[in-house]
Amino acid sequence: MSLLVVGLSHRSAPVELLEQAALGDRGELLDIVLGQGDHVDEWMIVSTCNRVEIYGEVATFHGAVGEMSEALCAVTGLSIEELGDSLYAHYEERAIAHLFSVAAGLDSIAVGESQILAQLRQALSDGRSHGHLGSGLESVAQQALRVGKRVHAETEIDSVSKGLIERGISLAQHHIGPLSDARAVVIGAGAMSALATHTLSRLGAAEVTIVSRTLASAERLAAVTGAKVTPWENRAEALAEADFIVSCTGAVGHVISVDDARSSRLEGPQVYLDLALPRDVDPEVADLEDVHVFWLDDLREVAEEAGSRSQVRAVEELVTAEVAEFVTTRRAASVGPTVAAIRRYAADVVAAELQRLESRTTLDERQEAQVQLTIHRIVEKLLHTPTVRMKELAGSQDAADYTKLLHTLFDIDPFVSKVSHIPRQVGGER
């Protein structure tokens, strides 16, 4: 089996296409489409504000790309023509590197954001609950989560996301004046919303109010930031009093409509910073008088500048090392069943020949033991060199070809408990 990812993200698709791809329930359709195919054995879908991707353990490359592309069309409601050049596919080592980079926050618009780890855990949980996740994909996904945790524990990647928020605040101050005089509202209580709340409080906003559908999450965030909390149903009043609104929810569809924005403002300029994909703020809000809206695309230069920072370089080096180690381990593990199968094959041949010898001759216990020991030593010497060589090649790119050759030469299937074929006679009568 080999790892394959097929998907689209903010790097390959325009915001409008990502918004369309984010719509709809994916679980059942994905199961139906991929469950009918012949090329994808395990799969999970990762759907975030930045991407929609299917990861699979596959038997063939081209067949699996076709099935997974068809599945993406089914779950997004978009045709293959509409997805077009926005689709990408990564295979084996590149797929592993891509997943590890995603988990590390390197592939997010807000570079270094940690919310992706929770989203990957959810994808893993969904894969298990639907019953289409096996040991191969499970091990890759679990390692990606470990890499993500290590990145946040050992590097300063979190500071890059802080820079994104600070850039948005700087843009807002051109219109609303000093932050110390501004009343701010944060819509949502997830990772990015929490980062925005902490940043606004740290930079001295006059007042910060959190509005979230999940009141308990908002109250926990308020307790550590000194912010106020307004229930979701009272958000119109909170918006009416705000100079600066930061929104980053996981909602499908617009959280703030043009009517909300039109009726909420009492006087003076108002700035919206929309960090969500799909977008939380209706694009028509930007057409209102004295209302300014900044999207993630307006902050993209921060993410691009971050690419030259030492924090990002450190994460890239860490991810590269993790990928190399995991690929080597994965290849080495793949030869284990073949080694075991060859040894089972040899043991069964020896047992069959000893049984035939026993039926034709009379040996005492000592003689029988000597014969068994001699045959065992011969088999071990014959298998020693190919076994050692196979383990040496396990970490190379030729390991798969070498393994397939051994399957053919010995006529074995390493994933069955017994060999499928044992010669009736070895050098004997027919």
CA distance 430 to 424: 8
CA atoms within 13 A of residue 26's CA, in its CB half-sphere: 25
Residue 240's identity, in one-letter code, is A
**Burial class for 76, CB neighbours closer than 10 Å (0-12, 13-18, 19+):** buried
Q: Taking Cα atoms as reference points, which of 269, 207, 280 lies closest to residue 243?
A: 269
Integer Rg of the chain from CA: 29
Q: Which residues are catalytic?
A: 49
CB count in 10 Å sphere of residue 140: 20
CA distance 276 to 254: 10
Where residue 54 falls (left for φ over 0; alpha for ψ -120 to 50; beta otherwise) is beta
CA distance 60 to 72: 18
Give how far Cα 106 sits from Cα of 14, 339, 352, Å: 19, 38, 57
Give how far Cα 352 sits from Cα of 323, 342, 372, 417, Å: 45, 15, 12, 17
CB count in 10 Å sphere of residue 243: 22
DSSP codes of every residue in 25-90: --HHHHHHHHHT-SSEEEEEEEEETTEEEEEEEES-HHHHHHHHHHHHHHHHT--HHHHGGG-EEE
Provide the angle, in degrees to the nearest 10, between the axes of the packed helices 310-360 and 135-154. 150
Place of tokens 């469950």: 35
**Burial class for 372, CB neighbours closer than 10 Å (0-12, 13-18, 19+):** middle
**Burial class for 349, CB neighbours closer than 10 Å (0-12, 13-18, 19+):** middle
CA distance 406 to 80: 40
